Amino acid sequence: MSDITVSSTTITPVVNGEARSLSAGSTMGDLLRTLALDPQLVVVEHNRTILRDRAQYDALRLATGDTIEIVHFVGGG
Amino acid sequence: MTTLLSPARPAEALDTPFIIAGREFRSRLLVGTGKYASNDAMIHAIDASGAEVVTVAVRRVNLDRTREEGILYHLDPSRFFLLANTAGCYAADDAVRYARLARAAGFNEWVKLEVIGDQETLLPDTAGLLEATRTLAAEGFKVMAYSNDDLVTALRLEDAGAVAVMPLASPIGSGLGLLNEFSIRTIKHRLSVPVIVDAGVGTASDACLTMEQGVDGILMNTALAAASDPVRMATAMRSAVDAGRLAYLAGRMPRREVAVPSSPMEGLLE
């Protein structure tokens, strides 16, 4: 069996329902920066666990198969 | 009499404080932020309404950024009390998840809880609503529960830990006005927690009539957002809520089936 070379360089977590390619070793903080999202204006759920402490974003390494939901407030009644 | 010489007092000076779960709010009119033609129209209408509590929904961020829909880009959270809703949830578990996400945004632990049971009428799922209320109240949430106008449901929600019960005037977005004055009056009469009518108000007379039932407040969205001129309607609603509230506090005259003259019967000419 050969090494799975693709997965050693990229990961594909599912973000808001869509698989996204990120370089291996990326953190939640990296993902938000890639998406140009202000961490203060969004809430992040990682594998159904809400990340209540924004300070932990840069310590959280992502992996293929992770499910991430990034939500915010929109107009509603 | 000195009262004849005193200037007219503003409505709030004649009212009692509006308190939910120990927190005093300055306006009995609560407004939503959805369905406006533009963000500017929304901001101007909310300002005209005088509302302090504004509701918001929790949704996925559009990662393609084809449009900037985050409401905090437009609405200054320091000027308003943000009340997140769980609109769009059809199960207690979903509503609890949305409420937890909203709390993690870091503004407050309040939620306008919706658990919907029917797509066509958007009427609440009573069993799911009670379950979610219990779960969230146990987690320290201040739950304001969107309910149908049923007394027993309202009583159960209060028992489940809701800090306010929000019976509908008529279905969400319908603009049909207050369909059952008796139900709303009965709910208000029997509950200890505040009763805030949520949904169905269409125009100012609906808001006034609703407040005349003695309820503590009204939450509306579409009546403002879908008016041809939201600022004028918001101004009208603000006056209507004040008028209805003061009329309730004033105590209306008895209804009579016969006329009673307002002018003296004595002193008429022969």
pLDDT of B105-154, one tens digit each?
A: 999 999 999 999 999 999 999 999 999 999 999 999 999 999 999 999 99
Residue B68 pLDDT: 65
In chain B, positions 80-139, which contact chain A (CB-CB < 8 Å)? 82, 84-85, 87, 100-102, 104-105
Strands B217-220 and B196-198: parallel
Number of domains in chain A: 1
In chain A, positions 56-75, which contact chain B (CB-CB < 8 Å)? 69-75
From first to last of its 77 residues, chain A has per-residue pLDDT tens of 444 455 579 999 999 999 999 999 999 999 999 999 989 899 999 999 999 999 999 999 999 999 999 999 999 99
CA distance B134 to B157: 8
Question: Does residue A77 form part of some domain?
Answer: no
B35 is known as an active-site residue: no
- The chain A residue lying nearest B199, using CA atoms, is A77
Given CB atoms, is B14 within the 8 Å cutoff of chain A?
no
Per-residue confidence band for B3, with pLDDT thresholds at 50, 70 and 90 = low
Chain A residues with beta carbon closer than 8 angstroms to that of B104 = 43, 50-52
pLDDT above 70 for B176: yes
Question: Does residue A76 form part of some domain?
Answer: no
**With contact defined as beta carbons under 8 Å apart, do B50 and B236 qualify?**
no
What percentage of chain B reaches a pLDDT higher than 70?
Answer: 96
Cβ of B101 within 8 Å of Cβ of A76? The answer is no
When pLDDT is averaged across residues B14-18 and rounded to a whole number, the result is 93
CA distance B183 to B172: 17
Q: Which domain holds residue A65?
A: 5-71
Q: Which value does ipTM take for this structure?
A: 0.88
In this prediction the pTM is 0.90
Q: Please report where in the chains the tokens 């009208």 appear, as a residue.
A: B236
CA distance B17 to B32: 22
Chain B residues with beta carbon closer than 8 angstroms to that of A16 = 60-61, 63
- In this structure, which CATH number among 3.90.660.10, 3.40.50.11540, 3.20.20.70, 3.40.30.10 belongs to the domain B21-250? 3.20.20.70
- Counted across chains A and B, CB pairs separated by less than 8 A come out at 95
Per-residue confidence band for B66, with pLDDT thresholds at 50, 70 and 90 = low
Question: Does residue A39 form part of some domain?
Answer: yes
